[in-house]
Chain A
Amino acid sequence: MCDTCGCNVTPGNENLVQAGGKLASTSSGRDSVEVLHGLLHENDHQAQHNREHFERHGVLAINLMSSPGSGKTRLLEATIDDLGRDKRIAVVEGDLETERDAMRIREKGVPAIQITTGSACHLDAHMVHDALHRLDLDAVDILFIENVGNLVCPASFDLGQQLNVVLLSVTEGDDKPAKYPVMFRAADAVVISKVDLLPYLGDFEPDRARRHLRELANAASLFELSAQTGEGLGAWCSWLLAQIPQRDQAAVGERSFTVTSA
């Protein structure tokens, strides 16, 4: 499915993909090349390619990020229980050391691709792309990409997702958005998880987490839920359903895609 797009970067075509930059001389007589490229240009290019896959197949792709243990896999299990009968869900698991999370998802009867590349601290667009080619995207409505538990690096690597969802469990403190602004600024939705534990904590104020998020100029939706008790899960699932792209729109995207690549 990649060959049709023609944008895979090879030594033969890379000069078509990116201009080499403009050559000029500096006052000191040295040659100087002006470029303006993101430092993660290769990743960004691959991410764009992944995004084309998702759009062509009408897949809603969600990059799920949080600290280790905030409840990403548990939330996926609960979401599959709620939506799995009506919507076709698939999961790419970035738990790099073990197959455990992928096995938990497969037990729910949902395809889960484990990314195994050793102990990287984040997923990148190339790893996700390899996983995509092991899935039948035509048979998927929502693809969750569970990123490595880490609030720092994953925010810098675009995977081609349409939406970033960041979990913040109530045991982590409500000031996490202020401490990790790069991650929380990128969030399209923030899930405050494990709210069943709120009565035992006392010092986590969901409103304070919301305020910190707004101070990052982020209007993201906030959900307060417990995957354990099911509290708040309904609002989260309704929101997810509303984000799924319309199939006929996806078909239009496919036509224009064929034209541009010809």
Chain B
Amino acid sequence: MHELAVCRSLLRQVERVAMQHGADEVASIHLSIGPLSGIEVPLLEQAFSIARAGTVAEGAELVTSLKGVRVRCGRCDKESAVTVNRLVCLHCGDWRTQLVSGDEMELTRVEINIPETVN
């Protein structure tokens, strides 16, 4: 639902990066997404294919790396790989855990093309 809003925000950031580095074209945009971010990657890709039209990222590829959900236990200090709705320690069963990864919603890298000589 809100993937289009997220996508527009993403594209504004990408355009800013491209402009600051004098790029005329963006080749690829790299994201890091966790399932607890609330972003559905297929919906984001769909929104991207619409929103990129007419921007410097028109021909860009969207590359998403999906993060797993991991928690660290506040009681036994061990890490567990868990699912989105059971953030419970797999070693001792305690629910007082800290999220280590899984809520990422980040732009990590942009590959751009900078024209050789301008003058």
Contacts and interface: CB of A to CB of B under 8 A. Distances in A.
Interface of A: 14-15, 18, 20-21, 23, 26, 30-43, 121-122, 124, 150, 152-153, 155-157, 177-179, 181-182, 185, 212, 214-217, 219
Given A36-B108, A215-B88, A31 B2 contact: no
Contacts of A122: 1-2, 5
B114 interface: yes
Interface of B: 1-2, 5-6, 9-10, 12-13, 16-17, 20-21, 23, 27, 31, 36-39, 71, 84-88, 95-99, 105-114
B95 A214 contact: yes
A179 B84 CA distance: 9
Given A39-B39, A217-B87, A33 B105 contact: no
Q: Which residue, of A23, A32, A35, A155, has the highest number of chain B Cβ atoms within 10 A?
A: A35
Contact of B2 (A157, A181, A214): A157
A152 B2 contact: yes
A160 B90 CA distance: 34
Nearest to A179: B85
B9 A217 contact: no
Nearest to A28: B111
Nearest to B87: A217
B109 A40 contact: no
A33 B17 contact: yes
A156 B13 contact: no
A219 B96 contact: yes
Contacts of B5: 122, 124, 153
Contacts of A30: 27, 111-113
Given A38-B105, A40-B105, A42-B12, A31 B111 contact: yes
Contacts of B84: 181-182
Given A42-B12, A215-B95, A34 B111 contact: no
30 contacts: A20-B20, A20-B21, A21-B17, A30-B112, A31-B21, A31-B111, A33-B109, A35-B107, A35-B109, A35-B110, A37-B13, A37-B107, A38-B105, A39-B39, A39-B105, A41-B9, A42-B9, A42-B13, A122-B2, A124-B5, A152-B1, A157-B2, A178-B85, A181-B85, A185-B36, A214-B95, A215-B86, A216-B85, A216-B87, A217-B97
3 tightest Cβ-Cβ pairs between the two chains A and B: A20-B20, A153-B2, A217-B87
A121 B2 contact: yes
Given A14-B16, A178-B85, A214-B95, A156 B37 contact: yes
Contacts of A40: 6, 9, 105
